[in-house]
């Protein structure tokens, strides 16, 4: 009888354990077996939409063993997403283009200051936030392009000169809501003052060949077609066409000349914008985030930046894409990206007053 009671008790215990186990919620089989606090990963929110950036992420993972989890969207969408996610945001690093968007991210309080001797020594002071909340990683020059048949480059000199009446009906540029134009005008406000910049903007509008429309590629194509004689565009758009597999795109690029404005001994230099990155304030993997941005400033990664999207590297001494280099060397405007980035809202209001739609 005692033996029978033991058997019945063991059977009841096993049955109870089985019932209890079935009643419990099942584990999420999609989660990693690695505990979050030791996970070798960095979560990247990026508004760069270039396929060639994948080589950057793969290079970092191969070098460090840290996986890069990528979320892509527009800069505004990513900033709003991080804000809405709050302290629970998985984002470690935010990458975006244009100093104006990086400035907005700092104003929204979603980036944290970091100290990195590697970044501070590699990235020029005017291409990074004074408080270390973001660092420029590539440069894009805002150049003047011209129709080779209709314009002698000796006629060109500066952004300011495009407001001269000699260019009436000859200038093309995209709309005022484009952030590249806002940063350019922000740099003019910083360099010339608001009153002189507004006078310039009004003169430029009077010289438009057509109302602003399309992106930078559309401006280049319109110049090649003779709709206008000159346009203001980012340099890499021209190089994309020149290196395209499409023969029509290459033919367009062949009709175009590239001019770097505001050069010479007395010139302040061509306006240069940036693509940059910062560590999110609530980053769950802050050390990996810093390591990732430091990698992006390495000569290896800078070469990929330069080759992948035809941008200029932020770090000195890194080789420039061969086609881009053919347009020549130029003097950069040394104005801080943080300064012209902070003036985007002022620039937009000024362009609206000038009639720049």
The per-residue pLDDT for range 272-302, each reduced to its tens digit, is 999 999 999 999 999 999 999 999 999 999 9
pLDDT at 11: 40
Distance between first and last Cα of the chain:
96
How far lies 77's CA from each of 80, 82, 337, in Å? 5, 9, 22
326: number of Cβ within 10 Å:
11
Place of tokens 């029509």: 248
pLDDT at 37: 43
pLDDT class of 304 with cuts at 50, 70, 90:
confident
Cβ-proximal residues to 195 (8 Å cutoff; 6+ apart), any chain: none
Which residues of the chain are in CATH 3.40.190.10 domains? 39-139+273-319, 141-270+340-354
The Cα–Cα gap between 44 and 210 comes to: 40
The Cα–Cα gap between 314 and 123 comes to: 6
Whether 51 shows a pLDDT value over 90: the answer reads no
Whether 259 shows a pLDDT value over 50: the answer reads yes
Burial class (CB in 10 A: 0-12, 13-18, 19+), 118: middle
pLDDT tens by residue, 93-107 = 999 999 999 999 999
How far lies 165's CA from each of 120, 160, 162, 170, 257, in Å? 45, 11, 8, 10, 22
The Cα–Cα gap between 259 and 24 comes to: 69
Q: What is the mean pLDDT of residues 225-230?
A: 97
pLDDT at 100: 92
The Cα–Cα gap between 63 and 301 comes to: 12
Query: Looking at 18-32, 39-53, 152-166, 208-222, which range is the least confident one?
Result: 18-32
Whether 344 shows a pLDDT value over 60: the answer reads yes
Q: Taking every pair of C-alpha atoms in the chain, what is the biggest distance, in angstroms?
A: 114
pLDDT tens by residue, 25-34 = 333 322 233 3
Instruction: Name the CATH topology of 39-139+273-319.
Output: D-Maltodextrin-Binding Protein; domain 2 (3.40.190)
Quickly list H helices, the chain: 2-23, 54-64, 75-85, 99-107, 117-122, 179-192, 194-206, 216-224, 235-242, 247-254, 286-296, 299-308, 322-325, 337-341, 344-354
pLDDT at 243: 93
pLDDT tens by residue, 165-179 = 999 999 999 999 999
How far lies 122's CA from each of 231, 247, 294, 297, 298, in Å? 33, 39, 9, 7, 8
Query: Looking at 6-10, 209-213, 218-222, 292-296, which range is the least confident one?
Result: 6-10
Comparing C-alpha atoms, which of 144, 157, 162 is closest to residue 199? 162
Residue by residue, DSSP assigns 165-184 as GGGTT-EE---TT-HHHHHH
Residue by residue, DSSP assigns 69-125 as EEEE--HHHHHHHHHHHGGG----EEEEESHHHHHHHHHTT-EE----HHHHHHS-G
Query: CATH for 141-270+340-354, among 3.30.200.20, 3.40.190.10, 3.40.50.300, 1.10.238.10?
Result: 3.40.190.10
Place of tokens 């930046």: 305
Whether 19 shows a pLDDT value over 90: the answer reads no
The Cα–Cα gap between 270 and 150 comes to: 23
Single pTM value for the model? 0.85
- HSE, side-chain direction, 13 A CA sphere, residue 208: 18
Q: What is the mean pLDDT of residues 142-160?
A: 97
């Amino acid at each position: 009888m005692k033996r029978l009671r033991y058997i019945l008790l063991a059977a009841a215990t096993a049955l109870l354990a089985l019932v209890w186990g079935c009643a419990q919620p099942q584990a999420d089989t999609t989660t990693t077996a690695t505990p979050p606090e030791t996970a070798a990963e960095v979560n990247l929110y990026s508004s760069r939409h270039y396929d060639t950036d994948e080589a950057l992420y793969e290079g970092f993972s191969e070098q460090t063993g840290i996986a890069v989890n990528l979320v892509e969207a527009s800069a505004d969408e990513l900033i709003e997403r991080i804000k809405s996610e709050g302290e629970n945001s998985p984002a470690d690093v935010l990458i975006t283009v244009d100093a104006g968007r990086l400035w907005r991210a700092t104003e929204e309080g979603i980036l944290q200051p970091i100290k990195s001797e590697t970044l501070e020594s590699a990235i020029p002071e005017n291409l990074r936030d004074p408080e270390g909340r973001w660092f420029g990683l590539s440069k894009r020059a805002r150049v003047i392009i011209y129709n080779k048949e209709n314009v002698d480059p000796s006629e060109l000199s500066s952004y300011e000169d495009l407001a001269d009446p000699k260019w009436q009906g000859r200038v093309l540029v995209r709309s005022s809501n484009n952030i590249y134009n806002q940063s350019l005008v922000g740099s003019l406000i910083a360099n010339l003052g608001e009153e002189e910049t507004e006078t310039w903007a009004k003169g430029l509008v009077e010289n438009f060949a057509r109302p602003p429309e399309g992106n930078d590629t559309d401006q280049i194509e319109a110049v090649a077609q003779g709709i206008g004689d000159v346009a203001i565009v980012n340099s890499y758009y021209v190089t994309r066409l020149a290196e395209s597999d499409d023969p029509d795109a290459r033919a367009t690029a062949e009709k175009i000349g590239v001019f770097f404005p505001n050069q010479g001994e007395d010139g302040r230099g061509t306006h240069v914008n940036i693509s940059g990155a910062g560590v999110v304030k609530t980053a769950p993997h802050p050390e990996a985030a810093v390591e990732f941005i430091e990698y992006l400033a390495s000569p290896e990664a800078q070469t990929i930046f330069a080759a992948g999207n035809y941008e200029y590297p932020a770090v000195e001494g890194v080789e420039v894409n061969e086609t881009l280099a053919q347009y020549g060397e130029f003097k950069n405007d040394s104005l801080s990206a943080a300064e012209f980035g902070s003036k985007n809202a002022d620039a937009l209001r000024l362009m609206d007053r000038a009639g720049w739609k």
